[in-house]
Structures are given as structure tokens and as C-alpha cells.
Structure 1
């Protein structure tokens, strides 16, 4: 049987039955994501989501979206506005100024727009960091001291 040839040995105890339908049903019961335990786990993970210190905005948004898609796949979709509020509320402190702007927007922001706003914020945030002071080489002498040209 094709089904049994693709199953890991550790899963054989879940595979009970004589027909392909029986085997498939047994696997679905053991591994299908549409049970209350899976729903609880996904909702808890989504409610506790936080943007970590070294996490990029896209990685953070992807992680949140994975939870939302998984919930949708088990028949428990989350509203877009709820996902947006959860994600915005748990952004790092550097996004505090952007949070109120995004939440006050009319019409309300949708999840798919968040990436662009966070990317724009990161560009502007990192652009304002002073660059190291450098004297162009044309204005220095061989000793590295400025030639005094103004």
C-alpha cells in the first residue's frame, strides 16, 4: 500500500485498518489540526506574539501570518482587524510613534499594508542615524590631516 510506505515507523501504531480509507481516517484522527487542543495552542501563540529584539519586521509579520493561516486552516479564522491590533501592539519600542499612527488610520489599516509601513519606518529610522564623520581624501595631506581648505 502506498500510504503505509510513506509513514514513519513511529507512526505505525496510529495506522489501523485494512483499507486505504481506514488508514487515511486513522492518520487524520491522529494528526489533523482541527481539534480544540490545536486551536488553543495557535490562539495562545498568537496572543503572546512579540517582536523580538533582533527580529526583522518581515519575519515578525510572517510569524503572525503563519498563526492566522493555521487558524484559518482549522476553521477558526481570525479577523484581519484583530490580527492587525495584536501585531501592532507587540511591536518593539522603536515603533511606538508608528503604533498610534497606524491604529488611528481611517480607513483602518489592513494586515497586508503593515509590511510597507514597517519597512518605511525602518528606512527612515536607520537613515537618521548619523554616519561616521569622514574627511574626503582629496582634502587631506599625506599625514591624514586636513589641508585647511574650506
Structure 2
């Protein structure tokens, strides 16, 4: 039996062969996927990059190609074209996904996936690569959270640094829960904030992190007000001490009794110099 020349594209094949709708793997032609990202994948942004790519794939019903639920159908003989629609359609779609994903990898990351031939191969390689990287990064950030101290910095600067570390953990898909975050935050405060720490830890109803931040800011303002008042008081006392005129003139007159005799300072009488003791019988 004579056969026709196979089509050169999937569009040609669909014009002569309508695929049955019962096959769930591919029911339409390949989707030319365009992943609009503001940044490429680096070693530090896998979680945010993945959080952008996954919804796009799912929105086009293509996530099954990377998570393994969409399986490539086997090729089979067709009596007209010797061509299997679903096999070719699946291969074409997978390569379009592969190209879209790799186009948003930096050169350093792309070097890890150059030998991957399917979109799932690329996805699994990236998952393995960043799982180990994320584990090491998580341990490092946990150590920083355990050792970060407020010191001489303001509450605003301390809280900004603290939440930056929290955001790093969230970016590697290892976020802190509220209890852990509050514990780390309070542990880094100095003794000036012991009253706030006691108030927070003894509450029946726990406070949220943002609420604690508000209390810390208010406490910081009270401390600064008290220090300002103390500085003014010390300055006033110092000014008063410097402005007092020195003592001048004669010293205090005094007298003493010795066996009934009276000794005293006297300026009276001739022949006696000022400031000498005089003897009175």
C-alpha cells in the first residue's frame, strides 16, 4: 500500500489528521511558551524564580511536563503518514518548554544543564542543585539569627537587619514560624529591653512580630527621653557649680578654752597683727 510523504510540521499533520480527543496527554498543538521574568535564575533567587515560573506553566497546563505527570506517548505506525501525532506533539511541546526555561538561566547556572535533553531533566537538575545550596544557606542564616545583636544600633536598624535574614530564609523556602521569629528577635536585645521581653514572654495571648516592633520603638523613645532629661539635669548642675562665686575674705572667727584661758582671733588693740592669736587672761 502506498503511503504519502510525511508532513514537515505539526500544522501540516493536523490538517490531514484530527487527533482523537480521548487522549489526555496532548489534545492541541504545542504552545509557544514565553516566560516573562524580570530576572534570570542565579544562585540566590531560586525560590522566587520558581515561584514565578510554576504558575506560568500551570496556567498553560504544561506543568506536567516538568513534574513528570505528563508522559511522552510511544510512537506508533499510522496507515497514512507513518506518523504519530501525539508523540511528535509531545516532543515539540517539551522542547518549547525546555527552551523557555533555559533562556532564563544565567550562564553559570546554564552550565549545569547543558546536557539535559528534556524540560523535566532540566527541572530535576535545578531542584537537586538548589536543594543542597539551600540547605547550606539555611544553616548559615540560622547561625546569623542566633548571633545577631542590637548593640548600639537603633531598633529600626536592628529590626531591618533581622527581617532581612528572615526574608532570606523565606527565599530558600525555609521560612521561620512566628514563635521562632519572636524568640530570635527578643534574644538579640540588650538589658535595657528586659521589661519588654518579660512583658512579651509572660503574655497569655502572644503578640505578632509587627506588634512587638511597635512596643520596642515606644520603649526606645522612653529611654531616649530619660537620657535627654538626665543630660539636661547634669548640665544644669554643672553650670550652677561653675557659676557660684568663690569664697573670699577672712576665715571664721573661733575661740577655744584652755585651763580657763580664752584664745581668739582679735583685730583689736595696738601691736597685734591681723590674723594672729591673742591671749586674754
1:11–1:50 distance in 2 versus 1, CA, 3 Å = same
Using structure 2 for the length normalisation, give the TM-score: 0.38
Q: Does 1:119 align with 2:217?
A: yes
- CA distance in 2: counterparts of 1:33 and 1:52, whole angstroms: 33
Runs of 4+ in structure 1 off by over 3 angstroms are 7-17, 25-34
Kindly provide the CA deviation profile for residues 81-121 of structure 1, in whole angstroms up to 9, marking residues without a partner as x.
Answer: 11111111220121112210121123111111122111110
> Residue 108 of structure 1 aligns with which residue?
206
2:232 counterpart (109, 112, 132): 132
- CA distance in 2: counterparts of 1:76 and 1:8, whole angstroms: 24
> Residue 134 of structure 2 aligns with which residue?
35
> Residue 141 of structure 1 aligns with which residue?
none
> Residue 146 of structure 2 aligns with which residue?
47
Using structure 1 for the length normalisation, give the TM-score: 0.64
Give the CA RMSD over aligned residues: 3.2
Q: Could you say which structure has the greater relative contact order, defined with CA pairs below 8 angstroms and 6 or more residues apart?
A: 1
Relative to total residues, which structure has the larger helix share, 1 or 2? 1
1:73–1:11 distance in 2 versus 1, CA, 3 Å = closer
SS at 2:232 equivalent: coil
Unmatched segments (≥5 aa) in structure 2: 1-104, 117-123, 237-242, 244-281
> Residue 148 of structure 1 aligns with which residue?
none
Aligned length: 132
1:33–1:60 distance in 2 versus 1, CA, 3 Å = farther
Unmatched segments (≥5 aa) in structure 1: 1-6, 18-24, 136-144, 146-150
1:2-21 equivalent positions in 2, closer than 5 A: none
1:117–1:132 distance in 2 versus 1, CA, 3 Å = same
1:40-119 equivalent positions in 2, closer than 5 A: 40-54=139-153, 56-119=154-217
SS at 2:183 equivalent: helix
